[in-house]
Chain A
Amino acid sequence: MVETALVVMMLVGAIVASAFRDLLNAVVAAAFVSLIAAILFYFLQAPDVAMAEASIGAALTTAIFVVAIRRTRRQEE
């Protein structure tokens, strides 16, 4: 039950991330997808992968994207 809710939230996050015109919002939505993926990995008894996903996918990748957006334009054309 919890897993179903998480998968639905993850799908919504992924669709929203691709639909946003504001790239900063899209990056935050992508980080949200990564976070939910990490929780799902934990439920699937893969704590090692969950840790890697949470620290790299949700934290470091988001930071790199935010820095890249700061260097370029924030709005998608």
Chain B
Amino acid sequence: MRKFLALISLAFIAWGVALSLSKAPFGEDKIVVGKHYLEKGTEETGAANIVTSVVVIYRGFDTLGEVTVLFIAALGLGAVLYTRRRSSERIEPSSLVLRTGCRFLFPLILLFGAYIFIHGHLTPGGGFQGGAIVASGFLLIYLGCPERRTQELRLGATESLGGLAFVVLGLVGLAVGGYFLTNFLPKGTFNSLISAGVIPLIYVAIGFKVGSELAGIMGNLMERTK
């Protein structure tokens, strides 16, 4: 009986999805907004990567919302998993090869993540991707060198400063240009590192924020497994 009901509700949902998607134009010419982004995006924002110009400039407020969602998720996880006592039992150190390998790779991974979020307006990638790569570097340290600890206070401070920088840049735009997250800095030379106004600054802030948040989530989980 339950399986029968499940089948019926599944068929009902499939019918609804098919009905709502049958009108959507797949593979046809772009709609007005997409056309505008593709044709005017580069000259309006000065960013070579159009995806970045949409994420940070045209839809900057949505990005602020996304960052807030991630912050709340990290906060909830920290509240659930927080332990006052730390490392009561002695941690067994890992082997020399593993430890040396991790120490060698960790700065390179951090450098790669920083490269991705600093060059977000020129090449694919940006704050979220670079931050995730930075966090995977911290994951390597947690797995390979369990005796090394990140300092949660510093992680939290980095995260807060990143979020604060994003909001302050948006508010300065509001004061200078009349609306939140205005691109108030000069656009500079197209396709060079210092260009596209506030986009690199915002992406660096997002990169720091996302990286420290995900690293904090990893740290919380790993602390509990010890």
Contacts and interface: CB of A to CB of B under 8 A. Distances in A.
Give the interface SS of chain B, mostly helix, strand, loop or mixed: helix
B222 interface: yes
A55 B225 contact: no
A12 B125 CA distance: 29
Contacts of A5: none
B221 A48 contact: no
Kindly state the interface size class of chain A when it binds its partner: 10 to 19
B194 interface: no
Give the interface SS of chain A, mostly helix, strand, loop or mixed: helix
Nearest to B133: A55
B225 A63 contact: no
A20 B166 CA distance: 44
Contact of B51 (A48, A55, A56, A60): A48
Given A55-B132, A55-B133, A67-B222, A60 B214 contact: yes
Interface string B128-159: 11001101100100010000000000000000
A68 B220 CA distance: 12
A64 interface: yes
